[in-house]
Amino acid sequence: MAKLGGEIASTLRDGREVRVRTAQARDARPLRELIDGVAAEPEVTLLVLPGQVDARTWRRRIIDSAADPRSILLTAVVGGELAGNLGLRPDPHPCSAHVAWVGMSVAAPWRGLGVGGALLEAASGWAAANGVDKLVLSVFPHNARAVRFYEHQGFVREGLRRAHFRRAAEYHDEVLMARFLTTPL
């Protein structure tokens, strides 16, 4: 079972406490609400559209992640409210089994306070302990705030895929970023 070893608590920039933990079945509805909220923002930051992923699908993702020893789905909770999530899943190619893909969202009111950093720190620790040497992710280049955040977290740009995604009939480029957890040989 892919689980974090309990909750990891840290203090946010505003003094409140954030608790990062493995997602549980009861998180399915709050995860749907979080993703729908981020997907509905005027600046496109996610591939999904609001309402595209229901609570039943989130529940299935939580169960599947818990059953896969190479995947993990984390939540960040502040004062009982789901503030963010982060999923790690292994790259599917056998020659890149040392690589894990990161997918992360933080609700708008919680950005800039340290929620994303707490999620990445917990995920990085778990990944390193579970044989992952490299974290990879993609971000839209127009999402400058996210790009700066990932760079601050040690990610570097590795590439650009032009018009790689189409969301609601609009094409979007994709910036590929990575962070090594160990030094490659």
- Whether 87 and 24 have beta carbons less than 8 Å apart is answered as no
Any idea where the domains of the chain sit in the sequence? Answer: 8-180
Question: Given phi > 0 = left and psi -120 to 50 = alpha, else beta, which region is 169?
Answer: left
- In whole angstroms, what is the distance from residue 86 CA to residue 80 CA? 17
State the pTM of this model: 0.93
pLDDT at 184: 75
CA–CA–CA angle 27, 106, 61 (5° rounding):
35
Q: 8-180: what fold?
A: Aminopeptidase (3.40.630)
pLDDT class of 185 with cuts at 50, 70, 90 = low
Q: Is the pLDDT of residue 1 over 70?
A: no
